[in-house]
Structure 1
């Protein structure tokens, strides 16, 4: 459905709906501003390293995507910021086309202020529905929950004005908007990664608020006050019900972020400790250090740092549900083995007992095996195990 094509639904000489609306309001500034904000946010994300065609979950989360463990960890602003974030240029382009197409009608019918309220409320409630149904499983972002709200409000307006439109134009516009909505929701049922919860939540919210905010082209088509109040009441009751019944998050994002920071810090320190260890061994091989001196340096300079790392990792309040929990457990084991290996090696160097040297070698093999297990987890644990949902 496009603005230019509405004339196809109206016979020659009959004023089309868009002509009537343009006489009422020539420009749609709020639609243009919303499109510009979405585009600027996307360009800013690109400028800071996000992918042009697709961005991973970590990038989306950093910019404010909706995700249960983060949103419900006190970051409720994500319900709003997620409306302006897109996973890639195709995702953005499709949403901006739909926003321009629907906004040209809805802003002219409802006025700019009510149009913005429809957009914001539909997007917020759509994100709340998404949070309620799949918040722990997916990172969700996109404008289409808000855009579906605009289409819901448009359907209300078209239905109220149906007697004043030529039947062909009404059928073209109303069933075009309804068909578009049904097609997108159906597509979301067939293709993974589409946030239908936000789509449906936004559509229902936009329909109810469309009744509440409706501005008729003709006074005779105004909606009774009681019906408006009832629609607003149903919307408010639905929002309260959603908030009260939100499922608890599987974990707290602040704890996961702290775990990721600790992992990154340990890996940075591990590289430095490995270099220092190698440098000490090289000095020992070059006879710059005696065995006793080498042992003292290994204990004081390297083993002590593994000790501190182990203590820091042990103090983390790691919930088993954290994506990084497995990586933290591996790091604790790794640091503990390295610490013991260095102490045993130092004791062997001091005493000259080959049994200590052999035990240190065995501990080194165990640490190396743990190190290989750590590599797939990477710096951020298993944080990308959650899915993504585009809107």
Structure 2
């Protein structure tokens, strides 16, 4: 096959490219320039897509004796990832920029261009497996769950999966990848993994948002609407937060209060007891299927749901259902006609804690990634009891 190897400058993508070459494929390396600050320098494990990363990727490609190019997708990255990140926070949600990057950049913009240039597939260093299914290619967890990255690939569609190549999916550990890189003479063998949001390399998300989102003061209220304090910008608060609330009125029971939700229309931050963070139902739109499900998703089905990249999957029941206009609230996306509803299987799992609208929920059946959606609503156990 003719393979375009996406080379980030890290050890995983370098070994993935090396394995593609060793397998006999015709391989071309490409590094995506995503930063709009071309002088950006990586600091340890913070930041990615920097000048240093581009040079590391080029050195790896030279060692592998494959052609290498740098593609400037910084404008597309700003529009589809950075601007989306800002808009979501401004709307009171907590987005996952890595999911949007995979969806819009690495497996849409990159893959579309690769196919247009005649490549059969794009290879990346993600730890995930592709397996043939009865209805087409299926995305599965990596053999080593501790390193599994199928969650961040949950946005991929059947068409995209047909042109993906994940050479590292069956490798039991990252240590083996580093050892292999060293054996191959790749200088990135011991390079630290990148962490944090790539366009906020110093890790100060709240500070960065303060420069990009309007800071409009508002009220901090309890679930009943009683004003307990003031905030200087709702974007500075996250669901589950306890510290820094600066409430002037203590709780009647003397227990600490936590951020339960953010109301973008009224610009209110809602706080309450820890018990109200226990979520037993989530729902949302902006969904996609990672291949044909193979059954009627409108009928309630057993599954597992994962709401963070490194969280444990939780047994649940899911269904796709239409949004009833008379029941539409400000939490529903305006253009959504259907949403996925997940009920946590409380016989086999504890409630989810600290779920925020804007997070991505990935649905699994066994090791298979069935699909994903963006959480719009998180319903606590006590809310369901009152609604019953």
Does the pair score TM above 0.5?
no
Structure whose residues are more often strand by fraction: 2
Instruction: Report 1 or 2 for greater relative contact order, CA contacts < 8 Å, sequence distance ≥ 6.
Output: 1
TM-score, normalization: structure 2? 0.27
